C-alpha cells in the first residue's frame, strides 16, 4: 500500500485502474529512470546527473522539474549553502526494488556472456542476490503463476 499518493503527473491517467500504467505515468521514460538510478548512487547536483547520464541540459532540467513536482525527488540546500541539491524522497527510494529488478533483467538479457558490466554490491562488497517474487506460501511466482484481478 502506498504511504501517500504522489501528485498526479496529469489529470487523466493512461489506464486509471492499472498500477503499472500509473507508475509509468510517473517514471516511464529512460531519462527519468537514469536520474533516479543516479540519485540512488549518490548524485545530487545538476552537474553530477548530467555527467553521469550524458543527458542534454534541457531534458535534464525538465526531468528534474518533473520528478520533483511528482514527489520522487526533493530539493534542499547543498552543504555549501550556495546551491540546491536533489535528494530522493521516500517514494523515490521505494523505486529501489524496481531499479534492482530491471538491472537484474539487464544482466541476464542485455549482455553477451562474459561481457564486462557494473555490479551492484551490498555494504560488504558482495553482489546483491537475484530477486525472485514469491507467493504467500513461499513458492516462486512468474507470469504463468500470477494474474491480475481487475478493479470492479
How confident is the model over 62-89, as a mean pLDDT?
94
pLDDT in tens, 121-151: 999 999 999 999 999 999 999 999 999 998 8
pLDDT of residue 12: 72
Question: What residues are paired with 73 via a beta bridge?
Answer: 88
How confident is the model over 53-74, as a mean pLDDT?
96
Q: Do the beta carbons of residue 13 and residue 26 sit within 8 Å?
A: no
Q: Do the beta carbons of residue 71 and residue 87 sit within 8 Å?
A: no
Q: Which domains does the chain have, with CATH numbers?
A: 19-94 (1.10.10.10)
**What pLDDT band is residue 30 in, cutting at 50, 70 and 90?**
very high
The Cα-based distances of 96 to 37, 102, 112, 133 in angstroms read 8, 10, 25, 15
Q: Do the beta carbons of residue 123 and residue 36 sit within 8 Å?
A: no
pTM above 0.85, yes or no: yes
pLDDT of residue 142: 93
Amino acid at each position: 500500500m502506498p504511504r501517500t499518493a504522489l501528485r498526479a503527473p496529469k489529470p487523466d491517467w493512461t489506464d486509471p485502474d492499472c498500477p503499472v500504467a500509473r507508475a509509468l505515468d510517473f517514471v516511464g521514460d529512460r531519462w527519468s529512470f537514469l536520474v533516479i538510478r543516479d540519485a540512488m548512487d549518490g548524485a545530487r547536483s545538476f552537474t553530477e546527473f548530467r555527467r553521469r547520464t550524458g543527458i542534454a541540459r534541457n531534458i535534464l532540467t525538465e526531468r528534474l522539474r518533473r520528478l520533483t513536482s511528482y514527489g520522487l525527488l526533493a530539493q534542499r540546500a547543498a552543504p555549501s549553502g550556495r546551491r540546491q541539491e536533489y535528494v530522493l524522497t521516500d517514494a523515490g527510494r521505494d523505486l529501489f526494488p524496481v531499479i534492482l529488478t530491471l538491472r537484474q533483467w539487464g544482466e541476464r538479457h542485455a549482455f553477451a556472456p562474459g561481457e564486462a558490466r557494473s555490479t551492484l554490491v551490498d555494504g560488504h562488497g558482495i553482489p546483491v542476490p537475484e530477486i525472485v517474487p514469491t507467493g504467500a506460501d513461499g513458492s516462486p511466482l512468474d507470469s504463468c503463476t500470477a494474474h491480475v484481478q481487475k478493479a470492479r
